[in-house]
Amino acid sequence: MPRLREITATRYVNPLRTGGSVPGVVEADDLGTYVLKFTGSAQGVKALVAEIVVGELARAFGLRFPELVLAHFDPALGADEPHQEVKELLEASAGLNLGMDFLPGAADFTPEIAESFPVDPLEAGRIVWLDALTVNVDRTVHSSNLMVWPTLGVAPPKLWLIDHGAALVFHHRWDGADPAKAYDFRHHALGGYGPDTRGADAELAPKVTEDLLREILSLVPDAWLTDFATPDEARDAYVTYLLARARTSASWLPTDFPSRDELAAADAKRAAATERGRPAWLKRVPDLHGKPPAEQDWSRHVG
């Protein structure tokens, strides 16, 4: 497995405000454009570890995931950033950060797009299986962390995976982490496609080997592995957990997914219950924040 390329940011373009980590778009010395995930974000370096581990597992499974690079960043590039909180984030992120190749014009995989976008059940099953393996419960119907690209008619659009910083929840509390624990994936973004998780399990579980996991963990900079006495001990812990989880997939394999109609009915019921609980004066207040799907800006890459 090749090492992650190293690039140096040469221009800070703008922040992306659609997610809690506030990544930024930068141009680099290799003439590429990247979405930078910063070490100074509230999620810290563990989010960057998760991005590498889950993203490179996705790539090893044949799923589409943008190239990752190690990105050197000088906060002086953001000296003209007008928002103080973003400027403080940049100032706290000097040095090595994580970049993801920018997908120009990519569209968010939203429920509106999902209504007419075909996804093969086995491909859906592979993505769900990856998320279950890595305990990524942050790919939901309402926040898919999936992109459709390309969208300009050059080629048939495909699903691309992004944003795995919330995965690997076990590394926030190693004590008591149970590799056989099952999590609720009924509201997965691809649940409505009838994911063939059993087929994915038969295909992917044998691919999760100690050698593969060690290759992937070797891509993580030592400075981002701080939970144990040495970086190698931290790598051992990740390898041990993920290998054990892959071997116990029968205990956590998601197989129960509501249909799209069932999800829509549940959303309608929840919305009606919320509306009943609102005071009369609040029911008359217009929604000043939401936009119909046709007016939304699909230009963002990650959140």
The pLDDT score that the predictor gives to residue 271 is 78
Residue 70 lies in a domain: yes
Residue 1 — very low, low, confident or very high, per pLDDT cuts 50/70/90? confident
pLDDT tens digits, 7-64: 999 999 999 976 678 999 999 999 999 999 999 999 999 999 999 999 999 999 999 9
Residue 267 lies in a domain: no
Domain span at residue 11 reads: 5-101
Residue position matching structure tokens 């919320």: 274
Residue 9 lies in a domain: yes
Number of domains in the chain: 1
Which structure tokens are listed for 275? 């509306």
**Full DSSP string of 233-274:** HHHHHHHHHHHHHHHTHHHH-------HHHHHHHHHHHHHHH
Residue 166 lies in a domain: no
Residue 65 has pLDDT above 60, yes or no: yes
d(CA 191, CA 120): 12
Residue 155 — very low, low, confident or very high, per pLDDT cuts 50/70/90? confident
Min mean pLDDT across 180-194, 227-241, 242-256, 284-298 is at 284-298
DSSP secondary-structure letter at 118? Answer: -
d(CA 259, CA 208): 30
Residue 91 lies in a domain: yes
Strand order in the sheet with 146-149: 107-108, 146-149, 158-161
